[in-house]
Structure 1
Amino acid sequence: MLDSPPQPQLPANSDTHDAIVAATRHWLVRAVIGLNLCPFAKGVHVKDQIRYVVSDARDVEAMLAALETELRTLVEADAERIDTTLLIFPHAFADFLEFNDALFFADRLLEQMRLTGELQIASFHPQYRFAGSQPEDIENYTNRAPYPILHLLRESSVERATQAFPDAAEIFERNQETLRRLGHKGWRHWMQEQAQDDAPGRT
C-alpha cells in the first residue's frame, strides 16, 4: 500500500525556518505551478506577492492565535504587496483528521472576525485525504504539501482569477486526471527534480 512521502527531515538549527519555507516554495513551484494544479498561482508567485509564515504552534489554540494575526495582516496589507499568505504548521497536526477538525475552528474565527466574504481559507496537508477516498489514492496528492498549511486568500483575487479562467469549475477534475496519469512513481520523480524558479518570497 502506497502512502504520501514522509515529511522532510529538518535541520535542528537556525536554518530550520529557511528550510521549511524552501520546502514549501519547492512544492508550490514544482507541484502547484509545475503541474498547473492551480492556474492562479503562477501570477502571484512571479510578482512576489505570496507571504510565507512558519508558525511554532503545537495545538489548536496557538494555531488560532497565529491565524488571527495573519488574517489581520493580510486584510490590512496592500494587495499589490501581499496578495495571499501560506501559514505553515511544521510542529502541529501531523494527523490529518486532527487538522481537518481544526479547520472548523479556523472558519469560525474567520466568521467571528467578520472577514467572511473578504478572505477565505484553503488547506493542504502531507496526508490530505478527500472524503470517500483511500489514503493511497493518487488523487489526494493534489492537496498534499510538505507540511500542514492554511492558505489565506482574498475573495477579490479569487473572483478575478475565476473570471480569467472560465473553466475554473473543471480544475478539480482536471487535476485528478493529471495525478492519475502521473501515478505514484511519476509523482515522486517529479517532486525530486529541482524546480527552476524557487525564487525568494515574502516572509
Structure 2
Amino acid sequence: MSTVNDSEMIEATRLWVEQVVVAFNLCPFAKRELVKNRVRFVVSQAVDEATLLDELAHELALLNVDESVETTLLIHPRVLQDFYQYNDFLELADQLLVDMDLEGVYQVASFHPEYQFGGTEPDDAENYTNRSPYPMLHLLREDSLSDAIDSYPEVDLIPERNIECMNEQGVEKMRALLEACLRNDSGADR
C-alpha cells in the first residue's frame, strides 16, 4: 500500500475543489478565491482531537493576522476518519470560536469522505455536496461570506439546487469524480 504525502493530499483536495465544488457551482463563491490564490490548503499532522483543536486554533489565529488568506481548508487525514466522531468534533470547533472570541468572525464548514446529512441514506447522491477526499475543516470569514451572499441572487436556493444537481449526476458519477481526485487525475470525465 502506497503512502500519500501531504502535497498529494493537497493536490487531491485542490482537484476536488476545482472538479466538484467549482465545476458544479456548489459554492458560487469558491472559484473567485481559488483563482486569486487566496485559499490556504494545509495538512494537519494531528493524530488526536486535542492536537487537531490546537491546529485549528493556530489556523484561526493566522487568518486573524493574514488578510491575504481568504479561507483555509484544514485537511486532517490522520484523525476523525469516522464521520460520527467527526460530526461530534464540530461542537468542539464551534466552542473554540467562542473561546477565542471569534464567533461571528469565522465559521467552520464541514467536509468528510463519509459525509451524511440527517435524514439521508449513506449512498444518497446529495451527500456528495459535502463529501471530500479527506476529512477537513473549512474556515470561512463571516464578513466575506455575508458580502458574497448579499451580492448573489436567491442565495437561499443554493442548498436545494446543489441537492438537485447531485441527484442528477448520480452517486456513481460523484463517487468516480471523488476517486479520480484521490488518484490526482486532473483529466477526470465530467
What TM-score, normalized by structure 1, do the two folds share?
A: 0.86
Which of 154, 157, 167 is the matching residue for 1:170?
157
Secondary structure (helix, strand or coil) at the match of 1:111 reads: helix
Q: Which residue of 2 aligns with 1:187?
A: 174
Distance in 2 of aligned mates of 1:176 and 1:57: 32
Distance in 2 of aligned mates of 1:142 and 1:153: 17
Q: How does 1:26-175 map to 2 (within 5 A)?
A: 26-78=15-67, 81-175=68-162
Distance in 1 of aligned mates of 2:58 and 2:80: 19
- The structure whose RCO (Cα within 8 Å, separation 6+) is larger is 1
Unaligned runs of 5+ in 1: 1-8, 197-203
Letter in 1 for 2:69: I
Letter in 1 for 2:77: P
1:189 CA displacement: 4.4
Distance in 2 of aligned mates of 1:135 and 1:186: 15
Q: Deviations over 1:76-114 (max 9, x none)?
A: 112xx1100000001111100000000100100110000
Secondary structure (helix, strand or coil) at the match of 2:118 reads: coil
Size of the aligned set, in residue pairs, is: 183
Residues 98, 190 of structure 1: alpha-carbon distance in 2 compared, 3 angstrom cutoff: closer
Secondary structure (helix, strand or coil) at the match of 2:26 reads: coil
Secondary structure (helix, strand or coil) at the match of 2:109 reads: strand
Q: Which residue of 2 aligns with 1:11?
A: 3
Q: Deviations over 1:6-39 (max 9, x none)?
A: xxx7635xxx010010000010000000111000
Letter in 2 for 1:50: V
Unaligned runs of 5+ in 2: none
Residues 10, 73 of structure 1: alpha-carbon distance in 2 compared, 3 angstrom cutoff: farther
* RMSD between superposed Cα atoms in Å: 1.5
Distance in 2 of aligned mates of 1:146 and 1:158: 24
What TM-score, normalized by structure 2, do the two folds share?
A: 0.92
Distance in 2 of aligned mates of 1:189 and 1:58: 28
Q: Deviations over 1:150-194 (max 9, x none)?
A: 000101110111012121111000000001110022224445384
Q: Deviations over 1:121-141 (max 9, x none)?
A: 101000000011111111101
Distance in 2 of aligned mates of 1:159 and 1:10: 42
- Kept in 2, the 8 Å contact 1:10–1:19? The answer is no
Distance in 2 of aligned mates of 1:65 and 1:58: 12
